[in-house]
Amino acid sequence: MEKFIAGMVLGMAAGALLIAGNNKARALVKKGQEELKQRVDAYIDQKLAELEGGRQSAE
């Protein structure tokens, strides 16, 4: 799932940068990318914490 999300983010970023011709649009795209990356990182961190919690309770 994480690989899919990472691929989706990179694909969206590449496509948006190809389409965005001017600097203002590129700045907005980069800001959106950073926000999306932060959300994905938080999601992955949450899933890893859940996995670690499950392992510790099993021991």
Render pLDDT for 15-58 as a digit per residue (tens, 0 to 9). Answer: 777 676 677 777 877 888 899 889 989 999 999 998 888 776 65
Please give the pLDDT value at position 56: 67
Give 44's contacts (C-beta < 8 A, 6+ positions apart).
2, 5
Helix (H) or strand (E) holding 48, with range, is helix 23-58
Between residues 23 and 59, the one the model is more confident about: 23
Residue labelled with tokens 């510790």: 56
pTM of this prediction?
Answer: 0.53
Please give the pLDDT value at position 38: 92
- pLDDT value at 11 more than 70: yes
Please say whether the beta carbons of 35 and 12 come within 8 A.
no
For 44, the domain range is 2-58
Structural domain total, the chain = 1
Give 47's contacts (C-beta < 8 A, 6+ positions apart).
2
Distance CA 33, CA 23 (A): 15
